[in-house]
Amino acid sequence: MAFDPDLIAALRAAKHIAVLTGAGVSAESGVPTFRDALTGLWAKHDPLQLATPEAFARDPETVSRWYDERRLNVLKRIPNPGHLALARWQHLMVERGRTFTLITQNVDRLHQSAGSTEVIEVHGSLIEWRCTRTGRIVECRGPAFAQHPMPSGHGGVLRPNVVWFGEALPEEAAYAAQHAAGFCDVFLSIGTSALVYPAAGYVHLAKSSGAVTVEINRDPTPATEIVDHSMLGLAGEIVPALVEAWAHR
């Protein structure tokens, strides 16, 4: 795969690389994206309608069941070459005394399974659930819940510890992501539709702060027109090749 030599030069010169990932990065691991065709597990539901506090208040059983099915699905999935290449890139950057910040909108923990560290999860995690009364968070790796919604044992029920539309991002994650986007030398937006804010704003912030901006996506997005380098194709193919081109001297 051939890359623009200016891009490779910018990546090699970068002291700080920041990457934002979205559902497209996990698609090749078998995790459905939000805006692709509603198939299989998702056929009965519009994900954008269910990912709201209002939906959970109106129909906690359906929302809990849908998230529990998704939790069980992601627990079976394994990282693909895109996840693995990003983990390798981070380790190589750190070895060279540089920084590499991985910001993800994904809630599937596949970056961590691939070996990425200090991943900034701006939309939370499907593996964690939270008591609606106490806010206590529990990690759930076991079988399907016996009830929907599942009693928390502390007077509330469990909801997924994810960020729904209209909810604020976790403060620390939002701050860290914004900081990384604002201070990086190169910013890459990979496998995200670039539609959901505030994450969709990070590429704009990076660009206006002087970073070289890059997009890797199967299809064009609103970010395509503003980035310095756009690569159309699959993350699981392009990212490993890009890391290889960067590493090879």
- The answer to whether residue 168 forms part of the interface with ligand BJW (CB under 6 A) is yes
Q: How far is the CB of 106 from ligand BJW (least distance, A)?
A: 6
Residues touching ligand BJW, count (CB under 6 A): 33
Distance CA 177, CA 121 (A): 9
Which of the residues 83, 123, 179, 229 is marked catalytic?
123
Buried b (16+ CB within 10 A) or exposed e, 194-216: bebeebbebbbbbbeeebbbbbb
Applying CB under 6 A, the span of 3-11, 109-117, 189-197, 222-230 interacting with ligand BJW comes to 189-197
Radius of gyration of the chain (CA): 18
- Contact between residue 120 and residue 31 where contact means Cβ atoms under 8 Å apart: no
3-state secondary structure 23-91: HHHHHCCCCCCCCCCCCHHHCCCCHHHHCCHHHHHHCHHHHHHHHHHHHHHHHHCCCCHHHHHHHHHHH
Q: Residue for token digits 């999935």?
A: 77
Closest residue to ligand BJW using C-beta atoms = 24
Residues 201-220, mask of contacts with ligand BJW (x by CB under 6 A): ----------------xxx-
The one among 16, 35, 91, 154 contacting ligand BJW by CB under 6 A: 35
3-state secondary structure of 194: coil
Residues 134-163, mask of contacts with ligand BJW (x by CB under 6 A): ----------------------------xx
- The answer to whether residue 86 forms part of the interface with ligand BJW (CB under 6 A) is no
- The answer to whether residue 24 forms part of the interface with ligand BJW (CB under 6 A) is yes
Positions in 39-58 near ligand BJW (CB under 6 A): 51
Dihedral over Cα of 78, 82, 83, 89: its sign:
positive
Residues in the chain: 249
Q: Using the 8-state DSSP alphabet, how is residue 167 labeled?
A: S
- The answer to whether residue 79 forms part of the interface with ligand BJW (CB under 6 A) is no
- The answer to whether residue 37 forms part of the interface with ligand BJW (CB under 6 A) is no
Closest Cα to residue 209, out of 201, 217, 200? 201
- The answer to whether residue 178 forms part of the interface with ligand BJW (CB under 6 A) is no
- Is-catalytic flag, 123? yes
Catalytically active residues are 123
Residues that bind ligand BJW (CB under 6 A): 22-24, 27-28, 33-35, 51, 105, 107, 123, 162-168, 191-193, 195-198, 217-219, 221, 234-236
